[in-house]
Amino acid sequence: MNDVDTKSRTKVKPKIERPRLHKVILFNDDFTPREFVVMVLKAEFGMNADQAQQVMITAHRRGACVVAVFTKDVAETKATRATDAGRKMGFPLLFGTEPEE
């Protein structure tokens, strides 16, 4: 009875997974002024003028551009705030989010 060893000798090593990061994506449209897009990128994502210009022009040329990656909550909050900044001015500016692979 008591000589049956049921104690596992296998070490259990809990795997701690990092939270998946989410991309904030800027989509092009035909109406939002370029300078306004740059202003929003600087204000909401802390970009400098060169970075903001680069991201704006990439979205303008290719249709979309990754702005930055954050945890899910932060990405969604920033995308919503940035989209709302455009809406407030009557522009169809759109930021979305997407999980990283």
Q: Is 53 an interacting residue with respect to ligand TYC (CB under 6 A)?
A: no
Q: Is 42 an interacting residue with respect to ligand TYC (CB under 6 A)?
A: no
Q: Is 20 an interacting residue with respect to ligand TYC (CB under 6 A)?
A: no
Element (H, E) at 69: strand 64-71
Question: Among residues 38 and 70, whose Cβ is nearest to ligand TYC?
Answer: 38
CA 12 to centroid of chain Cα atoms: 34
How many Å apart are CA 29 and CA 66, to the nearest integer? Answer: 15
Q: Is 24 an interacting residue with respect to ligand TYC (CB under 6 A)?
A: no
- Adjacency order of strands within the sheet including 94-99: 64-71, 21-27, 94-99
Q: Is 33 an interacting residue with respect to ligand TYC (CB under 6 A)?
A: yes
Q: Which of 32, 47, 70, 79: binder of ligand TYC (CB under 6 A)? A: 32
Element (H, E) at 73: helix 72-88
How many Å apart are CA 36 and CA 49, to the nearest integer? Answer: 12
Q: Is 26 an interacting residue with respect to ligand TYC (CB under 6 A)?
A: yes
Q: Which residues bind ligand TYC (CB under 6 A)?
A: 26-30, 32-34, 37, 56, 59-60, 93
